[in-house]
Structure 1
């Protein structure tokens, strides 16, 4: 694999990187966050304001970052992080093969040079290659052989410690993969008990001993699992399926294509078949196990039933859900297929022992099966996008060589027999890795390194200017986890542990959101103020030698924000400018008690912002914060003319001719103007232009978004153009609004007069002073509500409540107060107590047995 990465020129060996898809858009930022947590502020292990508006991070560590091998990442700062991830990935490849080889030798399943071939097939199995980019999961291949060795030792010798230790490590390393392994250990225990031919009572005792040992591992890891479990119940766990449907997900026989080398491409990531490739020679050996009379009939029947259970799990929804803990995977389907590959390799290793002599009956059945597979694949090859004729023909040749190898006795030339085995297995595994990984595109080192260097430079300069607590907005973005990469507080995040209340709130105020992400790029002056967006980082236009201007490509723009011309520029460098928002509120402030009973049902983000801000200030007047504006002129090109813009469905008159809608208006004031666009107007349906310049906009959103189109541009014509990308378009929620600047300033000053003056802060504790000048007020925060947050006012703990289904608030009286916010991971102490009692009890048992 090192040779392959050098060949592809991946950093540190060239100008490319190993980063792709989630590894490049998510995990690399989490690794940067891991570095900052370990090296700078350990409190972010529990909570971080770099996760959207603030969120529990135990779940992030549990799901993404608990591998002990991650310490390697500490050696690779900034733009070198991509090189560190490649070294980490290589280490996981190597340790996976080593672990499997060690298990084979300890169990005496294989003792010759064949161990190297088996280890290579295991480390380069189809699942590993397809999920190389999910480097967070790869530890399971290292730990699985150790867990199974411990399980066999437990069942055969009644010694549980090896199993307990390694399964505990797996639970802490990645609870998600541990769940799948736990299900597999049940199946493996049943198989081993039948294979060892124990009588019924002994088998029951062994199974109970296994169950107790597994439970012991869970109790030892409780200090970690219980708080993580609660955290996930508030985020990822809320997406668990409750309705079970007994239906198939695809035609089952399609998965045989996954036995072919190179059977993986980008299209297989979101919705494909299980990755079960291990090489044809070892697949044939696995199939022959079922027909080999050397093994007892009940052993072969149980092995066959377990194999059938695996195969059914690959296409029956309820079984698929079982392996995935009740949730359908978002991309990367059949994540448990590595267990089937392990199962096949384990049985193949048992089959290809020194006594191996294939039965003619078994060979005939397997050969017929292979002929049917290849006939099916050649017939439907044009419908299978992830393999081609060359790869399929290569597989046929490998299968033929494998069958010949099994038929010809090794006694005629033992050395040649072993070398051929090694060449076939290792060669096919390498071919699969090479062809599969060549189907994926990767981020260049310059794209990642230059952006990361600039982001770190800009955020570090801001910290040197202001060391206080604040959030930072930005108009450029490489990933939604930029705040974790640059180590600053913001409002964007992409991760499986995102609390659902945050996307719901962000969508309601016109931001981009989804089930697993939020992106704060479309803020108005109102939301910037409300959410403490005290600073904004923007990309800077530069002038080249010809006198023309261009936006630097290393800082991809994702929003238009002319209202920043109202803010003060505080720093600037070659590529960026940073502005200070004087209207930004503190993280906590005094607000009207009416916020506790406010229920906002409008789906118009502008109206939502207006009503929310007015209620917080206690203003009950009929004055509007935003006024609806009319367009002065609308031009339709190659489209029918309509009198009502919003809600209209337009279809091209001439199918092959360009079509566009031009919306024109001239601001009558210097106030800020905002345009709303419904989710039907996404990047797939249209492109947008503001005064002839393409409007950069993050493409993914499911609610109506808000775009800033003018600020301090009185009497200057504005043209917003919608160019159709399809034949028809729905002008969903296309409306223009003007912010009443004078009224906004009045409301802002009213709320800001009761701001919390922060005296000290960390991610888990904020201290400050506040003067409440009115009666019937609450201490309102823009900290997302969580049972982990607690508030003390003047030294006394007060009850917190959840307002507008999102944020934390508490009652407060008029006057001067000292306020302390502090975060404690829920059920952390409960878990620690359980783990401590379990460990002490285990130590007591060991001491008692030794004395006895």
Structure 2
């Protein structure tokens, strides 16, 4: 490895460093920012700034600005919290969204260089030439897979850095039986991201199998066991070292609610998918391209195969196996954890092809005089007639990229035909130039046409980053005004933006988030148990409580920020502030974070209630996950709940809707109008139990309130049953009109309720609540005087990480009302403290410390043996 410190090595590394900037040239010279108005902005940019601020302040466990309160270390392990690159970024100051996305561009260049550099070292260790090592590294770290994911989901390319390090460590163990680097590579791979750790771990097994087949070993049971146990024990040791990062994240994963869908994975793709196999491999087949491999690879594979030795052929076979998996639907599901199909594993294919290309370049160059004419003609004809001719036949003009690929195909054909007459250096130079030009050309075209134009990176300017929910002065001024005048604990809903993670960025306790590892019980509570309506269903999002009186009171929603022309969002709210664009309403009936309830309801009673009645029950009684034996309290009579049906279904009027029993066929502009009995005050809510008969996407609107149901088979669909619409407090009609997009629907029921707002009950609970509330990072404390035995109910999402202390002594914490934390109290005066620790963090940290001691001992023992 001393060769990398030679002049050639230094020049190679400088070339890769320059290449990492060149691959980002489009973004460096762009007047736009390194983000797009999708997950990159709605999630990644916000998460990185939010987590960095919390971690700098010593808060690693919990934040009230995440959802209605959520775990930081475990639930963000999927994104950043365990990433080395993120922890390096914490050293930098990025106070605004502008700073954050600019920093991301710098880190994208850094990760690109690191992936190329480590890949280069790996190829040099495998005794590849400088030229082949540079080209292989460039193809890997400069792939469009890297560019696309670095822009859209930057955390996903961290594993592209650690994969070649892990393989380098494996090769070093295989050849020299030195295992320190292998442990390091495995540690970074396992600790950075559990999701990609799974993919890379599967690939390690595949790599090991082909490595075993490529070495001259006896294929006996003993040799197989010795080989796999030999490196497997180091994998287990590295897993132990990474436990503190890996296990809390896995715990969070297993406590999400992904809807319980069964994914229908076909055995094969449609025939037309395979008909475009060359286009999917070598061309940029539209905006969703993910491979875009250089056309020269087909020439190299065909021309160089016979020149490879047994071990080198194992790399080629491995790359062909990974390529085969690319066209197998089940592989896309398997690498995604046996879930829906995703292409995020393709970096493994890119790695396999890149490492193989380095061997092929060297062997073809060394044997150029032996290349038969047919080995140049066959790939040339395949590409001309299989890739370019169909484009010409369809009458479509070649794109700039297709012209580039065509010219390089012709050039590669000529170079191979003349290979025997070219000097070795000239041949190396030409092949390298073809591959490099193809790689840079692919990057440039893909960046401009796909990432820039289609995904919209070229449309991100300061006005986008200053939209409501982000760096918006009007909103920020209003939020700071609320926080200055009210220093207590409460939650705010900002109705004026669609950024679910705005509370994280704008620094307030909100009621929503957009994240992949949502608390499963909370998601179930909102979307199935209470059927809160959102603009579209999703397994990853929530952002309000539908302005439903009892839900918002229970959750402590004290303030609403709304556009200036909007009505009061919730009945009884009082406007307290306004500026040129916004108004603030105060909910006088918001409850503190914890309050006493003295009656209980059974789970059976709750399940039989309508969604509307379940709302009110939250303030009338409590139901728990298990019997509370320490309390002798009364059972609440659910018949006392005050909702009443006010619809007159027999007078329903349908326009452009054909009704056949419970099947509705809705045509263009189809509406259904249902007369109701008018009531004073209170809320009017509609429970609609209907669905698309074919499981298709559809839109539904009730009195100006819209929602969209995504297709049942959509990977992000959440299987909630029906809808609940809460009409505006200003609604004063004698009928309700429902609009549906054209289609066929299965309609089980449509019920319209009037629900009185029991403000007196809220006032009672406000008097029986926690006072002198103090909260900081991962704890909440306060005092309470209990006049009647009951359950102290908190609007804190329950987790085994929460501990409750009553007068300094730990008390049992119950799951109450499906998802919240509570503890029983008898009559008396108490000091209460809720304290949170990321679940399994302490236990997994002990595992990591133990593994560290074992590693140190093993290294010391290994050194002593050598001495």
Aligned residue in 1 for 2:656:
639
Return closer, same or farther for 1:412/1:347 CA change in 2, 3 Å cut-off: same
The count of corresponding residues between Structure 1 and Structure 2 is: 801
Aligned residue in 1 for 2:358:
349
Aligned residue in 2 for 1:813:
826
Aligned residue in 1 for 2:727:
709
Aligned residue in 1 for 2:64:
49
Task: Pick the aligned partner of 2:612 from 606, 611, 614.
Answer: 606
Residues 563 and 672 of structure 1 are in contact (CA less than 8 Å); yes or no, is this contact kept in structure 2? no
Residues 117 and 426 of structure 1 are in contact (CA less than 8 Å); yes or no, is this contact kept in structure 2? yes
Residues 191 and 242 of structure 2 are in contact (CA less than 8 Å); yes or no, is this contact kept in structure 1? yes
Return closer, same or farther for 1:386/1:196 CA change in 2, 3 Å cut-off: farther
Whole-angstrom CA distance in 1 between matches of 2:257 and 2:748: 31
Whole-angstrom CA distance in 1 between matches of 2:206 and 2:517: 30
Task: Pick the aligned partner of 1:673 from 684, 688, 696.
Answer: 684
Task: Pick the aligned partner of 1:747 from 756, 761, 769.
Answer: 761
- Deviation sequence 1:613-662 (CA, Å, 0-9, x none): 33349753744433323479989685259899xx672533xx6xx55456
Task: Pick the aligned partner of 2:250 from 203, 219, 229.
Answer: 229
Whole-angstrom CA distance in 1 between matches of 2:260 and 2:174: 37
- 1:103-502 paired onto structure 2 within 5 Å: 103-112=122-131, 115-132=133-150, 133-198=152-217, 205-235=226-256, 247-251=267-271, 253=274, 254-266=276-288, 275-289=290-304, 291-296=305-310, 300=313, 302-303=314-315, 305-316=317-328, 318-329=330-341, 333-353=342-362, 356-357=366-367, 364=374, 368=378, 371-372=381-382, 375-376=385-386, 394-409=404-419, 412=422, 417-437=427-447, 438-439=449-450, 440-442=454-456, 444-445=460-461, 446-451=463-468, 452-454=470-472, 455-502=475-522
Residues 614 and 620 of structure 1 are in contact (CA less than 8 Å); yes or no, is this contact kept in structure 2? no
| Aligned-pair CA distance for 1:322 | 3.8
Aligned residue in 1 for 2:547:
523
Whole-angstrom CA distance in 2 between matches of 1:5 and 1:719: 58
Whole-angstrom CA distance in 2 between matches of 1:69 and 1:342: 21
| Aligned-pair CA distance for 1:464 | 2.5
Whole-angstrom CA distance in 2 between matches of 1:160 and 1:457: 56
Task: Pick the aligned partner of 1:83 from 93, 99, 102.
Answer: 102
User: Which secondary structure does the structure 2 equivalent of 1:522 belong to?
Assistant: coil
The answer to whether the aligner puts 1:781 opposite 2:803 as a matched pair is no
Whole-angstrom CA distance in 2 between matches of 1:175 and 1:797: 33
- 1:729-748 paired onto structure 2 within 5 Å: 734-741=750-757, 744-748=758-762
| Aligned-pair CA distance for 1:695 | 4.6
User: Which secondary structure does the structure 1 equivalent of 2:810 belong to?
Assistant: strand
Whole-angstrom CA distance in 2 between matches of 1:801 and 1:236: 20
Whole-angstrom CA distance in 2 between matches of 1:411 and 1:62: 56
User: Which secondary structure does the structure 1 equivalent of 2:123 belong to?
Assistant: helix
| Aligned-pair CA distance for 1:799 | 2.0
Whole-angstrom CA distance in 2 between matches of 1:288 and 1:195: 20
Whole-angstrom CA distance in 2 between matches of 1:622 and 1:180: 53
| Aligned-pair CA distance for 1:505 | 1.0
Return closer, same or farther for 1:717/1:276 CA change in 2, 3 Å cut-off: closer
Aligned residue in 2 for 1:555:
none
Aligned residue in 2 for 1:22:
39
Aligned residue in 1 for 2:848:
835
Aligned residue in 2 for 1:802:
815
Residues 666 and 740 of structure 2 are in contact (CA less than 8 Å); yes or no, is this contact kept in structure 1? no
Residues 522 and 705 of structure 1 are in contact (CA less than 8 Å); yes or no, is this contact kept in structure 2? no
Give TM-score scaled by structure 2 length. Answer: 0.82
Whole-angstrom CA distance in 1 between matches of 2:531 and 2:554: 14
Whole-angstrom CA distance in 2 between matches of 1:618 and 1:839: 54
Return closer, same or farther for 1:299/1:767 CA change in 2, 3 Å cut-off: same
CA RMSD of aligned residues (A): 4.0
User: Which secondary structure does the structure 1 equivalent of 2:824 belong to?
Assistant: strand
Return closer, same or farther for 1:385/1:503 CA change in 2, 3 Å cut-off: farther
Whole-angstrom CA distance in 1 between matches of 2:596 and 2:393: 63
| Aligned-pair CA distance for 1:524 | 0.7
Return closer, same or farther for 1:125/1:367 CA change in 2, 3 Å cut-off: farther
Whole-angstrom CA distance in 2 between matches of 1:193 and 1:387: 48
Return closer, same or farther for 1:157/1:583 CA change in 2, 3 Å cut-off: same
Q: Which deviates the most, 123-132 or 366-375? A: 366-375
| Aligned-pair CA distance for 1:525 | 1.0
The answer to whether the aligner puts 1:588 opposite 2:606 as a matched pair is no
Return closer, same or farther for 1:836/1:79 CA change in 2, 3 Å cut-off: closer
Structure 2 spans left out of the alignment, 5+ residues: 1-19, 623-633, 711-717
Return closer, same or farther for 1:710/1:346 CA change in 2, 3 Å cut-off: closer
Whole-angstrom CA distance in 2 between matches of 1:750 and 1:399: 80
| Aligned-pair CA distance for 1:432 | 2.1
Give TM-score scaled by structure 1 length. Answer: 0.83
- Deviation sequence 1:340-360 (CA, Å, 0-9, x none): 111111111012127532587
Structure 1 spans left out of the alignment, 5+ residues: 269-274, 542-559
| Aligned-pair CA distance for 1:191 | 3.2
Residues 46 and 58 of structure 1 are in contact (CA less than 8 Å); yes or no, is this contact kept in structure 2? yes
Residues 226 and 828 of structure 1 are in contact (CA less than 8 Å); yes or no, is this contact kept in structure 2? yes
| Aligned-pair CA distance for 1:170 | 2.0
